[in-house]
A and B are shown apart, each in its own frame.
Chain A
Amino acid sequence: MKSFFLLKQRLSPWQVWIGILVFFVLSGLIAGVFVLWKGLSITNLSDFVPWGLWITIDLSSIALSAGAFSLCAVAYLLGLKRFEPVARTATFIGLIGYTMALLALLLDIGRPDRFWHALVYWNHHSLLWEVTMCVCLYLVVLILETMPLFSRLEWVQNRWPRLAQKMATVHHYAPYLAVAGLCLSMLHQSSLGAVYGVLKARPVWYRPGISVLFIISAVAGGMALTALASMISARLTSRARVNDSLVEQVSAIVGWILVAYLYFRFWDALALGYTYQPGRSEGLRILTNGALSFNFWVGEIFLGALIPIFLLLNRRTRSMPLFRMIALALVVGGVVAYRWDTNMSGLLVVLYSLPGEPVIGYANYFPSFVEFVSAAGIVAYGVLAFSLGVRYLRVVEHPVDESEVIYQTLPEPAAAD
Chain B
Amino acid sequence: MSKKPLTRRDFLKIATVGGGALAASKMFRPVEASEAVEGEHQWAMVIDQSKCTGCGYCTLACRAHNDVSPDISWNQVVQVENLNGHPVFLARPCMHCAHAPCVEVCPVQASQYREDGIVMMDYDRCIGCRYCEVACPYGARSFNWEAFTGPNPAVPEWGEPEVPRRPRGVVEKCTFCFQRIDRGLALGLTPGVDIEATPACVVICPTKARIFGDLNDPESNVSQALRSQVSYRLREDLGTAPRVYYLFAKLEES
Bound-state Cα–Cα, A277 to B138, Å? 17
Q: A2 near B: Cβ within 8 Å?
A: no
Judging by beta carbons under 8 Å apart, are A41 and B131 in contact? no
Judging by beta carbons under 8 Å apart, are A50 and B143 in contact? yes
Q: Which of A11-19, A71-79, A198-206 contacts B (4 or more CB under 8 A)?
A: A198-206
Judging by beta carbons under 8 Å apart, are B129 and A128 in contact? yes
Given A128-B129, A354-B80, residue A111 in contact with residue B135 (CB < 8 A):
no
Q: Which residue of A40, A118, A346, A354 is within 8 Å of B169 (Cβ)?
A: A40
B80 (CB) vs chain A CBs: closest residue:
A354
Judging by beta carbons under 8 Å apart, are A127 and B134 in contact? no
A358 (CB) vs chain B CBs: closest residue:
B235
Bound-state Cα–Cα, A74 to B193, Å? 69
Q: Which residue of B34, B126, B139, B168 is within 8 Å of A125 (Cβ)?
A: B34
Given A110-B128, A111-B170, A200-B238, residue A128 in contact with residue B145 (CB < 8 A):
no
Return the CB mask of B108-136 against A: 1 if under 8 Å, else 0: 11100000000000000111111101111
Q: What number of residue pairs across chains A and B have CB atoms under 8 A from each other?
A: 134
Judging by beta carbons under 8 Å apart, are A195 and B80 in contact? no
CB distance from B244 to the nearest CB of A (A): 11
With an 8 Å Cβ cutoff, the count of chain B residues facing the other chain is 50
Contacts of B145 in A (CB 8 A): 39-41, 45-46
A201 (CB) vs chain B CBs: closest residue:
B137
Return the CB mask of B200-211 against A: 1 if under 8 Å, else 0: 000000000000
B26 (CB) vs chain A CBs: closest residue:
A120
Judging by beta carbons under 8 Å apart, are B34 and A111 in contact? no
Q: B177 near A: Cβ within 8 Å?
A: no
Q: A347 near B: Cβ within 8 Å?
A: yes
Contacts of B137 in A (CB 8 A): 200-201, 351, 353
Q: A5 near B: Cβ within 8 Å?
A: no
CB distance from A8 to the nearest CB of B (A): 44
Judging by beta carbons under 8 Å apart, are B128 and A117 in contact? no
Which residues of chain B from 126 to 183 have a CB within 8 Å of any chain A CB? Answer: 126-131, 133-139, 141-147, 167-171
Bound-state Cα–Cα, A198 to B127, Å? 21
Question: Which of B31, B106, B109 has the most chain A CB atoms closer than 10 A to its own CB?
Answer: B109
Judging by beta carbons under 8 Å apart, are A121 and B81 in contact? no
Which residues of chain A from 107 to 154 have a CB within 8 Å of any chain B CB? Answer: 108-111, 114-115, 117-118, 120-123, 125-129, 132
Q: List 6 A-B contacts (CB under 8 A).
A: A47-B139, A114-B126, A121-B125, A126-B106, A355-B80, A355-B232
Q: Which 6 A-B pairs have the closest CB atoms?
A: A110-B128, A110-B169, A201-B137, A129-B107, A50-B130, A128-B107
Beyond the given A110-B130, A128-B105, A353-B137, please list 7 additional residue pairs across the A-B interface where CB-CB is below 8 A.
Answer: A50-B130, A111-B169, A118-B127, A121-B110, A201-B101, A353-B92, A355-B90
